[in-house]
């Protein structure tokens, strides 16, 4: 059975793509066959894995409109043991073209259905908006939504809006839509603000927040420029330790066996 999660937050800069890439990388490292679906026209997830999205001839857009089967577009990185359905520049205009297509909110679900069962995990990196592309990501997320939340004040207001939107989608389109968990990102333990925001998120959403907190980290910020996840770029850094712990927490909740954690920390 494939577990499909959508990573969603309409606020940009919260670590959504970084979280998608690093969760996927550790899932692959732990023996889970994993696919990332880059549903963001900015193609950041594609770039983070060292793929030049400008040179992509066929990507998520082609799968969405049914031009090419998703299985024929997927790229595999043997070093990372990780696959990606890449984004391309064509995806930027997809929302306009999708408006006239029947069941437009289910195009991604239909595109991924032939490969359901071929992967243990599919992670959908949605754009930082609540438009038609994100709606497609939500309806394809059979196991729920992962919501990265930056530990800053404005993130709380955006989070409330997002939760309301998810509830509307659940009521009107996808009754089985659920929130798998909120991930606290860019946490700076030296500041009262980060601690206060983390506390407020846990208070407002009890039982919905992962115990693992992702720290603000120079290594995490540097890794995308090298086209690598943190697990390869700096595996003993504090950010890598945190993302590995997050994946272990996710796997434990999903009932999947885990490996022993690494223990050394660089920073």
Q: Convert the pLDDT of each residue in 236-254 to its tens digit.
A: 999 999 999 999 999 998 8
Domains and CATH numbers, the chain: 3-254 (3.40.50.300)
More confident residue, 155 or 36: 36
* Neighbour-count burial for 230-263, b at 16+ CB within 10 Å, e otherwise: bbebbbebbbbbbbbbbbbbbbeeeebeeeeeee
Token look-up 């050394």 returns 264
CA proximity to 245, closest of 224, 262, 266? 262
Enclosing H/E stretch for 83? strand 82-85
Whether pLDDT at 18 is above 50: yes
| Per-residue CA distances from 188 to 152, 154, 193, 216, 237 (Å) | 10, 16, 8, 6, 15
Average pLDDT of the residues in 78-98 = 88
Q: Convert the pLDDT of each residue in 200-239 to its tens digit.
A: 999 988 999 999 999 999 999 999 999 999 999 999 999 9
Q: Convert the pLDDT of each residue in 30-47 to its tens digit.
A: 999 999 999 999 999 999
What are phi and psi for residue 135, nearest 5 degrees?
Answer: -60, -40
pLDDT at 227: 92
In this prediction the pTM is 0.93
Let me know how long the chain is. 267
């Amino acid at each position: 059975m494939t577990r499909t999660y959508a990573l969603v937050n309409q606020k940009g800069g919260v670590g959504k793509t970084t979280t998608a890439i690093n969760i996927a990388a550790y899932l692959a490292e732990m023996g889970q066959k994993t696919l990332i679906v880059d549903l963001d026209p900015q193609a950041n997830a594609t770039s983070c894995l060292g793929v030049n999205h400008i040179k992509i001839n066929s990507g998520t857009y082609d799968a969405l409109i049914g031009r090419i089967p998703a299985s024929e577009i997927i790229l595999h990185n043997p070093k990372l043991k990780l696959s990606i359905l890449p984004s391309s520049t064509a995806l930027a205009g997809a929302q306009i073209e999708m408006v006239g297509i029947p069941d437009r909110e289910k195009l991604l679900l239909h595109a991924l259905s032939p490969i359901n069962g071929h992967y243990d995990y599919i992670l959908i990196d949605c754009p930082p908006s609540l438009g038609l592309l994100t709606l497609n990501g939500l309806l394809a997320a059979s196991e729920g939504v992962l919501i990265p939340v930056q530990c800053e004040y404005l993130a709380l207001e955006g989070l409330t809006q997002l939760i309301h939107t998810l509830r509307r989608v659940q009521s009107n389109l996808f009754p089985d839509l659920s929130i798998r968990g909120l991930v606290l990102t860019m946490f700076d333990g030296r500041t009262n603000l980060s601690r206060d925001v983390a506390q407020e998120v846990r208070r407002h959403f009890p039982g919905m927040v992962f115990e693992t907190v992702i720290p603000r980290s120079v290594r995490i910020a540097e890794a995308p420029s090298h086209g690598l996840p943190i697990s390869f770029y700096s595996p003993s850094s504090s950010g890598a330790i945190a993302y590995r712990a997050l994946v272990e927490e996710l796997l434990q909740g999903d009932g999947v066996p885990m490996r022993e954690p690494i223990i050394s920390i660089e920073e």
